[in-house]
């Protein structure tokens, strides 16, 4: 089997392109014809001969939401799964995602189920999505499954966008502060130091320290930049290692300013995901496995795994969650109510909506606290630099008097 890149026109005269995995060029042409398209160009992709930038294109939560929403719309209109995959492989904006969907279409045409085909691309489709599709295949409610997944990823995307929006202003403040400090060190500091030296002023330790930093930036700027890049790369690399990820997740749950926000994100994601999987007929144990994988924090993931193990042993979900220190009492109480009434999915859905609103409030509070904090930090840093520059001036004026 090899990959073939093709260009063709459909029955409406529109040009389409994509990638097929097939045994020969003729098989690709035949497949294009089966889909009522006319091939214009079919060529084999030689391994190592082509660097396709789309292979590095990230598939985001928004792409998943669009995929599930359009899939549901076509299924609801009576289209077959193959037809849905064919259309999506041509129309999705993300080129890498289009190529993956085209491969799904090829596998499904061979008789492989959609969930099995998706399982071959776990770097794209999370286990949550695969499990949900598998449940849809068993129950025959694939359209409902895609609708639920669309709703799930749309809410997840909205949450991510709100968090990113909340961080824009603090990041801008940080960039401005760095720019101001850089201008003081590169342009202002040398002028004042030259004046101090010409008047024989003894520089205090703070001024000498700033002068050393200023000289390093001016005279060895490239080396300083390379060192800075190396340090940033080393930090980023460390935080991708198991110990670094654990430390980062631990800090997120310890620092007062961001702890409440992260706990609310975790609880919101937990309730929304568990509500989605249980409503689709997936067992509680399998649902907890799916939740554990998407929760986004290794420490909480271990706690959810412990909850799952207790559930396997016969304990109730609410009681098992009560053994941890991460879930709020209200959530445990609501789940206990759901277990007693037998309406866990409905209770979780309402609870997820509540925590989504609480998350929005926490984001606003986080922003309102972070903005003045950033201003204070910027003021302190610039203030200390100004003091280091102004302090020798008083000594110079005393000597003049």
Is the residue at 148 inside a domain? Answer: no
Same structural domain for residues 356 and 208?
yes
Q: How far is CA 367 from the centre of its chain?
A: 19
Choosing from 50, 67, 90, the residue where a domain stops is 50
The Cα–Cα gap between 44 and 55 comes to 16
CATH code at 262?
1.20.81.30
Is the residue at 184 inside a domain? Answer: yes
Taking residues 35-58, report their average pLDDT: 67
Position 73 scores a pLDDT of 93
Please give the tally of structural domains in the chain: 2
What confidence category does residue 398 fall into, taking pLDDT thresholds of 50, 70 and 90?
A: low
CB 169 within 8 A of CB 364: no
Which tens digit of pLDDT belongs to each residue from 150-167?
Answer: 998 998 898 888 888 878
Taking residues 290-305, report their average pLDDT: 89
Is the residue at 401 inside a domain? Answer: yes
Position 201 scores a pLDDT of 73
Distances (CA, A) of 321 to 42, 254, 328, 351: 56, 20, 9, 15
Sequence-distant contacts of 324-329: CB under 8 A, at least 24 apart = 326/253, 326/263, 326/266, 326/300, 327/267, 327/270, 328/263, 328/267
Is the residue at 154 inside a domain? Answer: no
What confidence category does residue 395 fall into, taking pLDDT thresholds of 50, 70 and 90?
A: low
Check pLDDT > 70 for residue 396. Answer: no
Residues 6 or more apart whose CB falls under 8 angstroms from that of 220 comprise none
Residue 233 belongs to domain spanning: 166-401
Q: Which residues pair with 18 in a beta bridge?
A: 6
Is the residue at 86 inside a domain? Answer: no
The Cα–Cα gap between 374 and 155 comes to 29
Is the residue at 105 inside a domain? Answer: no
Is the residue at 381 inside a domain? Answer: yes
CB 100 within 8 A of CB 122: no
CB 61 within 8 A of CB 74: no
Q: Tokens 């082509």 identify what position? A: 50
Taking residues 69-89, report their average pLDDT: 92
Taking residues 53-68, report their average pLDDT: 82
Check pLDDT > 90 for residue 307. Answer: yes
Is the residue at 57 inside a domain? Answer: no
Looking at residue 199, the DSSP 8-state letter turns out to be T
Same structural domain for residues 226 and 370?
yes
Position 51 scores a pLDDT of 47
The model scores a pTM over 0.85? no
Position 196 scores a pLDDT of 76
* Position with higher pLDDT, 53 vs 16: 16
Position 31 scores a pLDDT of 74
- Helical axes 284-294 vs 256-279, angle rounded to 10°: 140
* Position with higher pLDDT, 394 vs 277: 277
Check pLDDT > 50 for residue 317. Answer: yes
Taking residues 35-54, report their average pLDDT: 66
């Amino acid at each position: 089997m090899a990959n073939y890149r093709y260009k063709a026109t459909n029955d409406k005269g529109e040009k389409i392109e994509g990638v097929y995995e097939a045994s020969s060029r003729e098989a690709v042409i035949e497949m294009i014809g089966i889909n009522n398209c006319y091939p214009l160009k079919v060529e084999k992709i030689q391994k190592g001969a082509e660097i396709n930038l789309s292979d590095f294109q990230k598939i985001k939560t928004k792409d998943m939401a669009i995929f599930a929403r359009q899939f549901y719309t076509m299924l609801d209109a009576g289209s077959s799964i193959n037809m849905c995959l064919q259309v999506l492989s041509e129309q999705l904006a993300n080129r890498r995602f289009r190529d993956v969907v085209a491969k799904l279409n090829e596998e499904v045409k061979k008789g492989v189920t959609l969930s099995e085909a998706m399982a071959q691309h776990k770097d794209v489709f999370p286990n949550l999505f695969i499990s949900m599709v598998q449940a849809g295949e068993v129950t025959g409610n694939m359209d409902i499954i895609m609708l639920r997944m669309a709703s799930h990823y749309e809410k997840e995307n909205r949450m991510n966008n709100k968090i990113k929006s909340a961080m824009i202003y603090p990041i801008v403040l940080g960039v401005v502060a760095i720019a101001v400090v850089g201008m003081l060190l590169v342009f202002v500091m040398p002028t004042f130091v030259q004046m101090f030296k010409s008047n024989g002023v003894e520089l205090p330790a703070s001024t000498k320290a700033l002068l050393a930093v200023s000289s390093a930036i001016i005279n060895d700027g490239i080396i300083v930049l390379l060192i800075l890049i190396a340090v940033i790369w080393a930090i980023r690399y460390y935080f991708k290692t198991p110990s670094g990820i654990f430390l980062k997740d631990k800090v997120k749950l310890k620092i007062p300013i961001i702890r409440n926000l992260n706990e609310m994100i975790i609880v919101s994601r937990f309730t929304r995901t568990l509500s989605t999987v249980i409503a689709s007929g997936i067992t509680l144990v399998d649902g907890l496995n799916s939740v554990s994988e998407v929760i986004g924090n290794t420490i909480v993931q271990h706690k959810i795994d412990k909850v799952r193990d207790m559930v396997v042993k016969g304990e109730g979900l609410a009681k098992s969650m009560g053994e941890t220190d991460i879930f709020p009492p209200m959530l445990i109480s609501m789940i206990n109510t759901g277990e007693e009434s037998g309406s866990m999915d409905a209770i979780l859905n309402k609870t997820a909506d509540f925590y989504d609103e609480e998350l929005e409030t926490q984001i606003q509070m986080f922003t309102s606290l972070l903005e003045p904090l950033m201003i204070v930090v910027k003021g302190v840093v610039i203030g200390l630099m100004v003091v280091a520059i102004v302090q020798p001036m008083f000594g110079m004026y005393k000597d003049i008097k």
